[in-house]
A and B are shown apart, each in its own frame.
Chain A
Amino acid sequence: MAKTNPPFMSGVPELLILRLLGRQEMYGYELVRAVRVISNDAFDLAEGVVYPVLHGLEKKKFLKAKRKSIAGRNRVYYTVTVKGKKRMSELSGEWERVKGGIDSALGEQHG
């Protein structure tokens, strides 16, 4: 059966966030900084936009949010759940498939 393509571009922030939070728990500002570092500032996003994504992922049970008070600042830390790890592998697979297709198309064009 032919695989359907999910809206893969809209899945990119989700994939990045799941991957980064899969390594360690982080709060919003920390996460945005990590995205900047890992992507070499490739994404020029409004930083506040990360929170709707985080809340959405938490609502779908891919993330777990926990309040922590550190150095007098009360922050919400996010961490990936088991369901979130499964979702990350699915998204990674989809991304690899799409990336392979694009690489192949570009290679054919340049070849």
Chain B
Amino acid sequence: MGKNQLAQLSSTLLQGGVAYKHVRRFIAELRDHSVDLEQEAVRNGSDTSAARDEAMTRLGDPELLVQEMLERPELKSYGRRFPFLLVLMPVLSYILFGLILVLFVVGLVLIFHSGALEEGEIIRPSDFLIEAISVIRIDFLYLLPIILIYFLMSYAIKNHIALKYYGFGLLLLCLLSSSVYLNLIWPDPANAIRGSIDVSINLSRWDFDPGFFMRFAACVLFAVGLKQFITQRMQREFE
């Protein structure tokens, strides 16, 4: 089967809602099967051109192959079956991962300073703990939205999900992640200050907070750039 035919086939299947992983494998299998059929025909005495034609005939009409794939609902992607999930999924994933990171921080504090906590003693955390929590804070504020955008956008574009669903979901994610603040107050024994973790969504600060606008703009720009990149890569993949 020729490159153009395979590219056309993959495009029709993805538009029909077949999951990307099945389309990708199906195309690879057809390509491979076609090579096997050509080799068999050559072994049986056909010349290269006749062998190619015979392989195409035996493999089947592309329309029939498309029909066979589309008739199986189990091969459809979840995103195409339940596109509304992509509106909520980015924000829910962000909240979930955020909670996991906060629990991780609490776990680290308990591991390193459980004794002091039990006795109600205020001690300065170890340098390692301060470093680890600072890295987690940066991951949560800046890296987590980027990772989520990458995975959700890759999934949505590869599975031909309509932009209105995942676009709205990503917009909500950008709004939420840009307005989240995570402030850490380290314990200070000298001034009897207990440490605290303050996670807040500062919606009231949107009007005058340049940090929010910077983060929001970076988030949206990253998503737009990524969309271009993934779309181009997809086109090359099935060519």
- Where the two chains meet, the residues of A that have a C-beta atom closer than 8 Å to any C-beta of B are 27-29, 32, 45-49, 51-53, 55-56, 59-60, 65, 73-76
Q: Assuming A29-B32, A46-B60, A76-B25, is B72 touching A55 (CB within 8 A)?
A: yes
Are B74 and A56 in contact, with the CB atoms below 8 A? yes
Contact partner, B37, options A27, A45, A47, A56, Cβ 8 Å: A47
Docked complex Cα distance between A74 and B29 (Å): 9
Q: Assuming A28-B29, A29-B37, is B74 touching A48 (CB within 8 A)?
A: no
Task: Output the nearest chain B residue to A30 by Cβ-Cβ distance.
Answer: B36
- Within 8 Å CB of A65, what residues of B? 25
Contact partner, B72, options A27, A29, A56, A74, Cβ 8 Å: A56
Are B64 and A49 in contact, with the CB atoms below 8 A? yes
- Within 8 Å CB of B61, what residues of A? 46
Docked complex Cα distance between A45 and B25 (Å): 21
- The A interface, classified by DSSP as helix, strand, loop or mixed, is helix
12 A/B residue pairs, CB under 8 Å, sorted by A: A28-B33, A46-B61, A48-B33, A48-B59, A48-B60, A48-B64, A51-B29, A51-B65, A52-B72, A53-B68, A73-B32, A76-B28
Among A45, A47, A76, find the residue whose CB has the most chain B CB atoms closer than 10 A.
A47
